[in-house]
């Protein structure tokens, strides 16, 4: 292949390749060496997989939809990339943005004596570096809230190291001071007992004899967890209880471990401590012991990253920062298997944490995922979108899911069905209006948009999900503006995830939310996914479709010859319907008792009019209602089935969890005792 010869390939390796020029074997009447068949036509830019090479040709697979074409192409039209990986790793900016060169750091002054405490120097350097790398850290931890920000970058943050050091217990300090020790040594320290300690503080739990945990090529026989508490005895009871009942990775390991010891390593003994001192101390210890959970270091699953981006980002940036600090100060402790999911201080992301987006080409869908808090207000349960905007969840769903008090966090996923730039119909769309013909070309895009919430019910292992749909479909924006409210809400969501705003738009369109969309771009040659921020786009707002224009479109879509049983516009004379039907298709398809207020003046009714559509009237041999559903001949003439009313339970179990259910059971910003 263009970049290198065949010798380095081990048999069985499949390479990601890109086609660098068009090649059509028939057009050029290509003759391949004997035995190489068939030849395969490819185009510049095709992403292919190369399996083997022979006499200057490569045998490749060219993916097409859910299958692929196979054949031989000349090697000189292929650019060779990395070996194929099943789940390409995701490369977050937190992983590769460079910290400033350490050469320019001021010398450590009084701390450079060789007998100085490496522990103290490490804590001081850690906090100084956080301050000096503020810009970078803020840039790569996109979901950081105001409170976390005020702790990390407090004007006195550079001094946190000293007070943390002074609170580490004397015995622990003796072991840790030189920066060169093993976790086992800490087991010599007094564990939590009925009488010790009395103060608040930070503990380390050391687990042993659990059968070992694999991470990379290493099997770890010791696992650690760092935590904070204001009451050690109560916290220990809680840990013991949770190990019996909870299924998270931490607690399943705790269940298996034959040895567990909980050791206080830092006590709040100093009187003058900064605000949020326990968070600061816990964070410092997680950094010192690098006790983040292994899965956080190498994100691979977009859904998991979408839900917990702040935890991945926090782990990546602070573990890297810590690596650099360690190399400067000589802090050197052996690696262990960590069980901390959250980065202390970062435990609670801001309420509009960014979205993670990715493309699933086999389904023609773009997915946008995040977590949001539920919020109960005046008998309604809402998902906060941005600022004052929210999406309502039916009370039945909320209570069925146990969201009765509000404040819970749910996983929110927006799906946009799209092929290239063409918006496709989503069967479970949020705006259940007819997919093709509507009030405005931009509003017609809403056919592609679906919104769902997902959650793991407390103490269970089966995820559930619910496609959000709006029940009050016909509510106008106001008494003086007949535009449907659902148009506004749907367009807000679509524009926010696609970062689209308009020139010349009507005043009812909301302003774009500043929440970041992190798109995972698939890098075929590199066999990885790279995070890119979706950039805003500005489009001109097109003119509304007129009633006349939409009548014409409907007539083209349902020509009289092929659809003798559908009439567009004027209400048919008595006799057309045999059942004395009064309602137009749109009204009928809703299965409600609300009467159709057809007006011969414009051949429209209260439901068709807001869409700038005339009424349509269809009859069928069998039940005409069956023809209005997704994929059927009259889909364009009715309202999509209301899932909640017509498909029974609104909440469905998920056949497959979005990610390892054990991870959802971790302590994600739970209240800790
Ligand atoms: Zn009607
Ligand atoms: Zn109508």
pLDDT tens by residue, 559-569 = 999 999 999 99
Q: Do 320 and 141 meet the contact criterion of CB atoms below 8 Å apart?
A: no
Give the H or E element holding residue 321: helix 309-329
Query: Between helices 160-167 and 277-289, what is the axis angle to 10°?
Result: 80
CA of 621 to the centre of ligand 1 (A): 21
CA of 619 to the centre of ligand 1 (A): 15
Q: How far apart are CA 585 and CA 628, in angstroms?
A: 9
Which residues, 6+ apart, have CB-to-CB distance to 195 below 8 Å?
Answer: none
CA of 598 to the centre of ligand 2 (A): 6
Which one, of 183, 181, 349, lies nearest residue 259 by Cα? 183
Q: What is the mean pLDDT of residues 232-256?
A: 86
CA of 587 to the centre of ligand 2 (A): 6
Q: How far apart are CA 597 and CA 429, in angstroms?
A: 26
Q: How far apart are CA 485 and CA 477, in angstroms?
A: 5
pLDDT attached to residue 252: 82
Residue 670 main-chain phi, psi, to 5 deg:
-60, 155
Is the pLDDT assigned to residue 2 strictly greater than 50?
A: no
CA of 431 to the centre of ligand 2 (A): 17
A 10 A CB-CB count for 465 gives 16
Residues whose CB is under 5 A from ligand 2 (ion)? 584, 586, 605, 608, 615
Q: Which ligand number lies closest to the CA of residue 550?
A: 2
Task: Please indicate whether residue 472 or residue 486 has the higher confidence score (pLDDT).
Answer: 486
Q: How far apart are CA 604 and CA 597, in angstroms?
A: 8
Q: What is the mean pLDDT of residues 643-672?
A: 60
CA of 622 to the centre of ligand 1 (A): 21
Q: What is the mean pLDDT of residues 213-235?
A: 91
Query: Between helices 118-132 and 277-289, what is the axis angle to 10°?
Result: 110
pLDDT attached to residue 87: 86
Percent of the chain with pLDDT over 90: 63
3-state secondary structure of 399: helix
CA of 590 to the centre of ligand 1 (A): 10
CA of 446 to the centre of ligand 2 (A): 20
CA of 616 to the centre of ligand 1 (A): 8
Q: What is the mean pLDDT of residues 603-620?
A: 96
Q: How far apart are CA 493 and CA 385, in angstroms?
A: 8
How is the chain split into domains, by residue range? 15-86, 116-348, 355-540, 547-641
Which one, of 402, 518, 545, 500, lies nearest residue 460 by Cα? 402
A 10 A CB-CB count for 365 gives 18
Q: Do 192 and 263 meet the contact criterion of CB atoms below 8 Å apart?
A: yes
Percent of the chain with pLDDT over 70: 92
Q: Is the peptide bond before 423 cis (omega within 30 degrees of 0)?
A: no
CA of 614 to the centre of ligand 2 (A): 6
Q: How far apart are CA 556 and CA 441, in angstroms?
A: 17
CA of 393 to the centre of ligand 1 (A): 27
CA of 449 to the centre of ligand 2 (A): 24
CA of 240 to the centre of ligand 2 (A): 64
Give the H or E element holding residue 64: strand 57-64
| Residue 262: C-alpha distances to residues 43, 172, 608, 609 (Å) | 62, 13, 67, 69
CA of 592 to the centre of ligand 2 (A): 14
3-state secondary structure 437-493: CCCCHHHHHHHHEEEEEEECCCCCCCCEEEEECCCCCCCEEECCEEEEHHHHHHHHH
Q: Name the CATH architecture for the domain at 15-86.
A: Roll (2.30)
pLDDT attached to residue 660: 72
CA of 408 to the centre of ligand 1 (A): 40
Q: What angle do CA 357, 299, 651 make, to 5 degrees?
A: 55
CA of 603 to the centre of ligand 1 (A): 10
pLDDT attached to residue 110: 46
CA of 585 to the centre of ligand 1 (A): 7
Q: Which ligand number lies closest to the CA of residue 637?
A: 2
CA of 607 to the centre of ligand 1 (A): 6
Q: Do 61 and 51 meet the contact criterion of CB atoms below 8 Å apart?
A: yes
CA of 582 to the centre of ligand 2 (A): 10
Is the pLDDT assigned to residue 278 strictly greater than 60?
A: yes
Length of the chain: 673
Q: What is the pLDDT of residues 416-459, one digit of tens each?
A: 999 999 999 998 899 999 999 999 999 999 999 999 999 887 77
CA of 588 to the centre of ligand 2 (A): 9
Give 155-221 as a DSSP string: TTGGGHHHHHHHHB-HHHHHHHTTS---HHHHTTS----SSS--S-EEEEEEEEEEEEEEETTEEEE
CA of 345 to the centre of ligand 2 (A): 56
Q: How far apart are CA 206 and CA 259, in angstroms?
A: 8
CA of 640 to the centre of ligand 2 (A): 15
* Weakest-pLDDT range from 135-149, 266-280, 641-655: 641-655
What average pLDDT does the chain have?
88
CA of 620 to the centre of ligand 1 (A): 18
Q: Which ligand number lies closest to the CA of residue 614?
A: 2
CA of 431 to the centre of ligand 1 (A): 18
First-last CA distance in the chain: 60
Q: What is the mean pLDDT of residues 551-560?
A: 96
Q: Do 149 and 100 meet the contact criterion of CB atoms below 8 Å apart?
A: no
CA of 588 to the centre of ligand 1 (A): 7
Burial class (CB in 10 A: 0-12, 13-18, 19+), 223: buried
Q: What is the pLDDT of residues 525-549, one digit of tens each?
A: 999 999 999 999 999 999 999 999 9
CA of 492 to the centre of ligand 1 (A): 27
CA of 541 to the centre of ligand 2 (A): 26
Q: What is the Cα Rg of the chain in Å? A: 31
| Per-residue pLDDT band at 629 (split at 50, 70, 90) | confident
Q: How far apart are CA 268 and CA 279, in angstroms?
A: 12
CA of 566 to the centre of ligand 2 (A): 13
Residue 352 main-chain phi, psi, to 5 deg:
-110, 55
CA of 606 to the centre of ligand 1 (A): 6
Q: Do 442 and 419 meet the contact criterion of CB atoms below 8 Å apart?
A: no
Q: How far apart are CA 130 and CA 157, in angstroms?
A: 8
3-state secondary structure of 373: strand
């Amino acid at each position: 292949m263009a970049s290198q010869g065949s010798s380095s390939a081990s048999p069985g390796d499949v390479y990601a390749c890109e086609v660098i020029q068009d090649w059509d074997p028939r057009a050029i009447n290509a003759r391949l060496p004997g035995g190489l068949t068939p030849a395969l036509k490819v185009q510049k830019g095709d992403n292919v997989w190369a399996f083997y090479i022979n006499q200057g040709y490569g045998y490749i697979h060219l993916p097409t939809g859910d299958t692929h074409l196979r054949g031989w192409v000349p090697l000189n039209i292929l650019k060779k990339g990395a070996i194929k990986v099943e789940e390409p790793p995701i490369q977050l900016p937190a992983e590769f943005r460079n910290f400033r060169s350490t050469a320019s750091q001021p010398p450590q002054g009084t701390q450079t004596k060789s007998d100085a405490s490496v522990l103290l120097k490490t804590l001081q350097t850690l906090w100084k570096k956080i301050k000096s790398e503020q810009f970078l850290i803020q840039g790569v931890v996109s979901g950081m809230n105001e409170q976390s920000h005020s702790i990390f970058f407090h004007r006195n943050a550079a001094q946190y190291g000293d007070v943390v050091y002074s609170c580490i217990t004397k015995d622990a300090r003796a072991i840790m001071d030189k920066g060169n020790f093993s976790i086992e040594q800490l087991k010599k320290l007094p564990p939590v007992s009925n009488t010790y300690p009395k103060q608040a503080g930070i503990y380390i739990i050391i687990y042993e004899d659990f059968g070992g945990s694999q991470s990379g090529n290493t099997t770890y026989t010791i696992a650690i967890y760092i935590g904070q508490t204001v009451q050690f005895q109560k916290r220990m009871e809680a840990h013991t209880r949770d190990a019996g009942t909870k299924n998270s990775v931490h607690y399943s390991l705790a269940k298996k471990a034959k040895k567990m010891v909980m050791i206080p390593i830092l006590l709040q003994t100093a009187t003058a401590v900064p605000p949020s001192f326990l968070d600061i101390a816990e964070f410092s210890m997680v950094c010192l012991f690098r006790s983040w959970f292994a899965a956080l270091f190498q994100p691979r699953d977009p859904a998991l990253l979408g839900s917990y981006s702040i935890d991945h980002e926090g782990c990546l940036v602070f573990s890297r920062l810590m690596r650099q600090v360690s190399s400067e100060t000589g802090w050197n402790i052996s690696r262990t298997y960590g069980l901390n999911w959250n980065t202390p201080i970062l435990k609670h992301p801001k309420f509009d944490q960014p979205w993670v987006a990715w493309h699933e080409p086999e389904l023609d869908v773009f997915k946008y995922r995040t977590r949001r808090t539920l919020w109960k207000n005046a008998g309604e349960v809402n998902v906060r979108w941005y600022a004052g905007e929210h999406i309502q969840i039916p009370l039945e769903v909320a209570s069925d899911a146990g969201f009765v008090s509000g404040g819970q966090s749910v996983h929110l996923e927006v799906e946009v069905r799209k092929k290239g730039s063409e918006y496709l119909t989503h069967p479970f769309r949020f705006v259940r209006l007819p997919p093709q013909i509507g009030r405005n070309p931009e509003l017609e895009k809403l056919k592609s948009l679906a919104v769902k919430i997902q959650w793991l019910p407390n103490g269970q292992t089966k995820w559930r999900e619910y496609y959000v749909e709006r029940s009050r479909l016909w509510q106008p924006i106001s008494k003086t503006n007949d535009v449907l409210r659902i148009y506004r809400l749907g367009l807000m969501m679509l524009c926010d995830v696609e970062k689209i705003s308009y020139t010349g738009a009507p005043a009812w369109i909301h302003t774009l939310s500043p929440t970041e969309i992190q798109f995972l771009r698939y890098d075929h040659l590199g066999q990885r996914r790279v995070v890119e921020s979706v950039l805003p786009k500005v489009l001109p707002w097109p003119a509304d479709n007129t009633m006349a224009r939409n009548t014409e479109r409907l007539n083209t879509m349902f020509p009289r010859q092929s659809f003798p049983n559908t009439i567009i516009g004027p209400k048919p004379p008595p006799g057309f319907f045999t059942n004395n039907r009064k309602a137009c298709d749109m009204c009928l398809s809703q299965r409600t008792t609300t009467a159709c207020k057809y007006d011969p003046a414009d051949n429209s009714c209260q439901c068709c009019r807001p869409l700038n559509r005339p009424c349509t009237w269809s009859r069928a041999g069998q039940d005409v209602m069956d023809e209005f559903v997704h994929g059927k001949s009259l889909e364009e003439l009715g309202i999509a089935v209301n899932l909640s009313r017509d498909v029974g339970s609104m909440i469905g179990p998920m056949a497959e969890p979005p990610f390892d259910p054990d991870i959802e059971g971790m302590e994600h910003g739970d209240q800790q005792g």
